Amino acid sequence: MAVIVETNRRVTVNAVVLSTFVKTANLTMESDPQDSTTMGGSGWKTFLAGLRSGTFTLNFLNDYAAAATDATLWPIFASGTGVTAFTTKQDSGTTTATNPEYQGNLVVSQHSAGGTVGEIPKLDVSYPTTGVITRAVA
């Protein structure tokens, strides 16, 4: 396995490439473990994977220009449903087995505007995913 340094992650939200504003991007997926322990388990608990969910956590340098963070995310948040497509992959190059692209929908469930004097405005958000997340390798 090749160890890499993140330098060129691709992130899209609502088909808008936001990579140039992203400081960190983490897609976490998990399933709710369901206890399947029976009397025949020799005293050990057993579990099966239950319902799955995901969270896409992003740290942006906020920008209010057209096709930037605020102009992309605010209309989705304000829409009422807040659901939109996202993609992310380790490198902006071609999608391959060593550069898989994760795709799905997320809920823009939070938004903020503001900042600290003398600092770049930042937007830290954690969006829940909704529905299936897929992993493309081509």
pLDDT digits (tens, 9 = 90+) for 8-23: 999 999 999 999 999 9
Residue 43 lies in a domain: no
On the question of pLDDT at 1 being above 70, the answer is no
Residue 70 lies in a domain: yes
Other C-beta atoms closer than 10 Å to the C-beta of 16 total 14
On the question of pLDDT at 115 being above 60, the answer is yes
Picking from 90, 93, 67, 64, the residue whose alpha carbon sits closest to that of residue 15 is 67
Other C-beta atoms closer than 10 Å to the C-beta of 110 total 13
Residue 41 lies in a domain: no
Average model confidence (pLDDT) for the chain? 95
What pLDDT sits at residue 3? Answer: 84
The residue segments making up the domain with residue 87 are 10-29+51-136
Picking from 28, 84, 29, the residue whose alpha carbon sits closest to that of residue 52 is 29
Residue 114 lies in a domain: yes
Residue 37 lies in a domain: no
| pTM of the predicted model over 0.85 | yes
Residues 6 or more apart whose CB falls under 8 angstroms from that of 81 comprise none
Name the domain count of the chain: 1
On the question of pLDDT at 121 being above 90, the answer is yes
Residue 36 lies in a domain: no
Residue 38 lies in a domain: no
pLDDT in tens, 32-58: 999 999 998 889 999 999 999 999 999
Residue 45 lies in a domain: no
